[in-house]
Chain A
Amino acid sequence: MKHIAFGILGAAALGFTASAASAGTLDTVKQKGFIQCGVSTGLAGFSAPDDKGDWQGIDADFCRAVAAAVFGDGSKVKFTPLSAKERFTALQSGEVDILSRNTTWTINRDTALGLNFIGVTYYDGQGFMINAKKLPGVNSALQLSGAAVCVQSGTTTELNLADYFKSNKMEYNPVVFEKLEEVNAAYDAGRCDVYTTDQSGLYGIRLTLGSPADHVVLPEIISKEPLGPAVRQGDDQWYHIVKWTYFALLDAEELGITKANVEEMKASDNPEIKRVLGQEADTKIGTDLGVSNDWVVNIVKAVGNYGEVFEKNVGSGSPLKIARGINALWTKGGLQYAPPIR
C-alpha cells in the first residue's frame, strides 16, 4: 500500500531527475560547463546578491572555490536561491550540485535525508535579538517568557527554540514564516518581540533593519550550529572534490598562501607549499582527485584562502565585523583544522 501511494506523485518529484544525477556529478558538471550552487534567498555575509546582482558571501565564495578547482575558473557557477524548506529537496533531486546555504550539520540530515556534509565552514550558535528601545530592562534570554518570537520554519532554529523555552519552563508565541525576508519584515514591523536565528545571521539582519542601533543581540547562545556545505550521498568522487576544496582553503591559510602571493609562492623553497600548489615533478596531487594538478592555485586565485574569504565577507572587511573567534585556525586557538594535502 505504501509503495503504491509513493508513485502517484513521485515521478515528477524524484524519479526522472534523480536518474540523471547518477551519471556522476563531476561528469555532469563538466558537461554542462558550470556548477549549480544552492544558496540562501539572501543572508548578508553568507549568500546575498550585491547591488550588481552578483552573489556575495562565504557560502557563495565556497561554490566559486569548487568551480575554480574543477574548471580553473571561479566564475563558472550558477546560483539557485532556496528557502529553508526547499533546500534539501533541491539537492536530493539533483537541481543543485552543492548546497552551500548556511545549513546546520545534524545526524538526521547526514543520514535519513541522504546528504553528506563535507565539513564546517562556519561554527555558529543560535542567539536572540530584541528591540532594546521597546523593551528596556531585558538583557537575558531568560527574561523572555511570554514573548512573541519570530523564527523561520523548517530550520534547526525552530527546534532549538522549542527545546530552550521548554527546558527553562518559559512560554512563548511562535510567529513562523517560510522565507527569511518575511521574518525580517515581521520583526521590523513589530509583529514579534524577539528574533531568533544563528548569531552571525542576527548581526547581518540587524544591519538591514530600519534603525540597527535600537536592536541588541542577547548574550545567550543556546545551541551548536556548525554550518557547512552538503552534497548528495552515493557519489564519493564529487564528495571528495568538494571536501578537499574546503581543506585546501584552510591549508592555504595555514601555509600563508594568499590571493596576492600565490604566483610567487609557486617558486617557494618550502617543499610543503610546492607540493600543495602542484609544483612537484610528476605530481598527482590533483589528478587523483579528478581535477588538474594546480587546483589549489586556481582556488586561491579565485577567492583567496579561508581567512581572506572570512574577512572579506563577515570579518573586518565587511559591515558585519564579526571576530574570527572559534573560526580561527587551530594554530591560533580556533577550531578550523584541515588534514594535510599530500
Chain B
Amino acid sequence: MASQEILREEPSRASFINDPKVRSLFFQTLVIVILFGSVWWIVQNVIDNLARLHIASGFGFLKGRAGFDISDTPIAYTSDSTYGRAIIVGLINTIIVAVAGIITATIIGFVVGIGRLSQNWLIRKICTVYVEIFRNIPPLLVIFFWYSGVLAVLPPPRESYNLPFGSFLNQRGFYFPRAVWGDGSWLILVAFLVGLAMAWFVARTARQRQMVTGQQFPVFWTSIALIAGLPLLAYALSGFPLSFDFPKQSTFNLTGGFQVKPEFLSLYLALSCYTAAFIAEIVRAGIRGVSRGQTEAAGALGLRSGPILRLVVVPQAMRIVIPPLTSQYLNLTKNSSLAIAIGYPDLTATAGTVLNQTGQAVEGVLIMMIAYLVLSLVTSAVMNVVNARMALVER
C-alpha cells in the first residue's frame, strides 16, 4: 500500500517546470505562435509595401479583358476573353501535355525497362544507351533538341512532306484530316460504348469460366471485334455520315484539317523521352526486386516466358514500381513549365503574360503555385488509389 501511495504522489512533487507534458505543450504553442506571427508579419509587410509603392493589388484583374491571343486554345478563347480565362486556357494546355506525356512516357518506360533485362544482347544494349542518354541530359536541352534540331529543320509549308491519308508534315507542325461528323453519327458513338461494355462483360465471364473449368477463351480478339466491329457496322447502317476536312495549301500556311503545332510536339516528345528513361530504371528495379525463385517456380509449373512475365513477375513488380512512378509523373507535370522556352502556351506562359500585362506579380505567381500544387496533389491522390489496389492483400 505504502509503495503505491508514493508512486501516485510522485508527479505532484515534481516541479511544474520539469513536467514533460507541460513542457511539450509550452513548446508546441510557442512554435505555432512564432509560425503564425511570422506569416502575419510577411503578409502585412507585403500589403504595406504594395500600397506604399502604389501598385494595384487584389484579384479583380482576372475579370479584365485580356487583349492578347493564344496560339493553342482547347476551349473557346479570343482576345476579348478575360485574364482569368487566359489562365484557364494555359492550365488546360498544361494538363493536356502532362497527360499525353505521362501515357507515352509510361509505355516507352516499360518497354525500355523490360528491354534492359532482355536475353538479347542487342536489345539490352540499345535500351541501356537510351536510358543513359536521356537520363543524363537536362530536360530543357531535350526540348531544344526536338524543337530546333528536329522540327525546325523540316521543310517550309510550300514544300511539306506528303504523308498517307492526306496528312502533311512541315516546320509549322503536323497536319492531318479532321473528322466532320454528319447526321446520325451519334449511332457510331453508341455502338462504340456498347462494344466497350460487351467486351468488359466477355472478359469477366471468361475469367470466371477459367477459374471454374480451367478453359480459356480468346478474350483479346473478341474484344477487338466488338470494340471496332460494332461502330463500323453502325457507320455502314447509318449511311456513312462521316466526312473529312483535308488540309489545303493557302497563301501562308496549310489551312483546314487538324494541326499539331511543333511547340506542342517537341514538348510532348521531349517530356516523354526524358521521363521514360527514369521510368525504365524504376521498372527494371521493380522486376529485379521480384525474387528469382518466383520465375523459377513459374517455369517449373510449365509457363512460358511471356506468361511468366505477364502473370507472375509484373504484378509483383508493380508494388515496387508504383510509388517511385508517382514521383516521375509529378516531375513530368512540373517539367512541362519549361514550355516557356519554346513558346508553348502552358500555364506558366499564359499566367506569366497576364502577370506582365497587369503588373500584379504577387497574385500571378500565387495563382501559378496553387495551380501546380493542386495538379500534383490530384496526381498523387490518383496514384495512391492505384497503389492501394495493387498492394499486397494478405490472406
Whether A182 pairs with B42 at a CB distance below 8 angstroms is no
A85, B43: Cα distance in complex, Å: 25
Select the stretch in B112-120, B212-220, B314-322, B345-353 that faces chain A.
Answer: B345-353
B180, CB-defined interface residue at 8 Å: no
- Note all chain A residues with C-beta closer than 8 A to B253: 146-148, 173, 193
A233, B78: Cα distance in complex, Å: 33
| Cβ proximity bits B36-77 to A, threshold 8 Å, 1 near / 0 not | 000110111111011011111111000000011111000000
In the complex, residue of chain B having the shortest beta-carbon distance to the beta carbon of A193:
B252
| Cβ proximity bits A1-38 to B, threshold 8 Å, 1 near / 0 not | 01111111111011110110110000000000000000
- Note all chain B residues with C-beta closer than 8 A to A145: 251
Whether A162 pairs with B356 at a CB distance below 8 angstroms is no
Whether A9 pairs with B369 at a CB distance below 8 angstroms is yes
Give min CB distance, A43 to chain B, whole Å: 17
A153, B366: Cα distance in complex, Å: 20
Whether B171 pairs with A15 at a CB distance below 8 angstroms is no
B128, CB-defined interface residue at 8 Å: no
Select B50's contact among A5, A14, A154, A174, beta carbons within 8 Å: A14
In the complex, residue of chain B having the shortest beta-carbon distance to the beta carbon of A15:
B45
A114, B54: Cα distance in complex, Å: 5
A242, CB-defined interface residue at 8 Å: no
Whether A175 pairs with B46 at a CB distance below 8 angstroms is no
B377, CB-defined interface residue at 8 Å: no
| Cβ proximity bits A66-104 to B, threshold 8 Å, 1 near / 0 not | 000000000000000000110011001000000000000
B362, CB-defined interface residue at 8 Å: yes
Whether A178 pairs with B352 at a CB distance below 8 angstroms is yes
Whether A191 pairs with B359 at a CB distance below 8 angstroms is no
Given A10-B362, A88-B359, is A153 in contact with B353 using a C-beta cutoff of 8 Å?
yes
Give min CB distance, B166 to chain A, whole Å: 20
B358, CB-defined interface residue at 8 Å: yes
Whether B365 pairs with A13 at a CB distance below 8 angstroms is yes
How many chain A residues touch B (CB < 8 A): the figure is: 62
In the complex, residue of chain B having the shortest beta-carbon distance to the beta carbon of A188:
B152
In the complex, residue of chain A having the shortest beta-carbon distance to the beta carbon of B49:
A18
Q: B68-124: which have CB < 8 Å to A?
A: 68-71, 78-79
Select B46's contact among A7, A22, A143, beta carbons within 8 Å: A7
Whether B356 pairs with A154 at a CB distance below 8 angstroms is yes
Whether A176 pairs with B71 at a CB distance below 8 angstroms is yes
| Cβ proximity bits A42-78 to B, threshold 8 Å, 1 near / 0 not | 0000000000000000000000000000000000000
A89, B365: Cα distance in complex, Å: 12
In the complex, residue of chain A having the shortest beta-carbon distance to the beta carbon of B151:
A191
Whether A6 pairs with B362 at a CB distance below 8 angstroms is yes
Whether A175 pairs with B42 at a CB distance below 8 angstroms is no
Whether A92 pairs with B56 at a CB distance below 8 angstroms is no
A108, B359: Cα distance in complex, Å: 9
Whether A7 pairs with B42 at a CB distance below 8 angstroms is yes
- Note all chain A residues with C-beta closer than 8 A to B356: 84-85, 88, 153-154
Select B42's contact among A10, A111, A114, beta carbons within 8 Å: A10
A163, B54: Cα distance in complex, Å: 29
- Note all chain B residues with C-beta closer than 8 A to A154: 352-353, 355-357
Given A4-B43, A112-B56, A162-B79, is A15 in contact with B49 using a C-beta cutoff of 8 Å?
yes
In the complex, residue of chain B having the shortest beta-carbon distance to the beta carbon of A165:
B69
A190, CB-defined interface residue at 8 Å: yes
Whether B352 pairs with A9 at a CB distance below 8 angstroms is no
Give min CB distance, A6 to chain B, whole Å: 5
A337, CB-defined interface residue at 8 Å: no
Q: B278-326: which have CB < 8 Å to A?
A: none
A7, B71: Cα distance in complex, Å: 33
Whether A113 pairs with B55 at a CB distance below 8 angstroms is yes
A79, B361: Cα distance in complex, Å: 23
A324, CB-defined interface residue at 8 Å: no
Select A14's contact among B79, B172, B343, B362, beta carbons within 8 Å: B362
A166, B355: Cα distance in complex, Å: 23
A135, CB-defined interface residue at 8 Å: yes
In the complex, residue of chain A having the shortest beta-carbon distance to the beta carbon of B355:
A85
Q: B252-297: which have CB < 8 Å to A?
A: 252-253, 255, 262-263
Give min CB distance, A28 to chain B, whole Å: 15
- Note all chain A residues with C-beta closer than 8 A to B194: none
Whether B353 pairs with A162 at a CB distance below 8 angstroms is no
Whether B341 pairs with A14 at a CB distance below 8 angstroms is no
Given A148-B252, A162-B79, A173-B253, is A153 in contact with B54 using a C-beta cutoff of 8 Å?
no
A333, B78: Cα distance in complex, Å: 41
Whether A191 pairs with B152 at a CB distance below 8 angstroms is yes
- Note all chain A residues with C-beta closer than 8 A to B171: 189-191
- Note all chain B residues with C-beta closer than 8 A to A11: 42, 45-46
A190, B160: Cα distance in complex, Å: 13
A281, CB-defined interface residue at 8 Å: no
A209, CB-defined interface residue at 8 Å: no
Whether B54 pairs with A234 at a CB distance below 8 angstroms is yes
| Cβ proximity bits A160-173 to B, threshold 8 Å, 1 near / 0 not | 01110010000011
In the complex, residue of chain A having the shortest beta-carbon distance to the beta carbon of B343:
A177
Whether B50 pairs with A85 at a CB distance below 8 angstroms is no
B340, CB-defined interface residue at 8 Å: yes
Whether B352 pairs with A92 at a CB distance below 8 angstroms is no
Select A9's contact among B45, B49, B69, B362, beta carbons within 8 Å: B362
Whether A9 pairs with B343 at a CB distance below 8 angstroms is no
B250, CB-defined interface residue at 8 Å: yes
In the complex, residue of chain A having the shortest beta-carbon distance to the beta carbon of B158:
A134
- Note all chain A residues with C-beta closer than 8 A to B49: 14-15, 18-19
Whether B53 pairs with A166 at a CB distance below 8 angstroms is no
Whether B156 pairs with A22 at a CB distance below 8 angstroms is no
A175, B343: Cα distance in complex, Å: 7
Pull 24 A–B residue pairs with CB atoms less than 8 Å apart, ordered by A.
A5-B366, A6-B50, A7-B39, A9-B365, A10-B43, A11-B46, A15-B49, A22-B52, A89-B361, A112-B56, A112-B359, A113-B55, A114-B54, A143-B251, A148-B252, A159-B68, A163-B79, A174-B70, A174-B71, A176-B353, A189-B148, A193-B252, A193-B253, A234-B53
Residues of chain B touching chain A, judged by Cβ–Cβ distance below 8 Å, are 39-40, 42-47, 49-50, 52-59, 67-71, 78-79, 148, 152, 156, 171-172, 250-253, 255, 262-263, 340-343, 345, 349, 352-353, 355-359, 361-363, 365-366, 369
Given contacts A6-B363, A234-B54, 8 further A-B pairs with CB under 8 A are: A11-B45, A16-B45, A18-B53, A146-B252, A162-B79, A174-B71, A177-B342, A191-B152
Residues of chain A touching chain B, judged by Cβ–Cβ distance below 8 Å, are 2-11, 13-16, 18-19, 21-22, 84-85, 88-89, 92, 108-109, 111-114, 134-135, 143-148, 153-154, 158-159, 161-163, 166, 172-178, 182, 185-186, 189-191, 193, 232-234
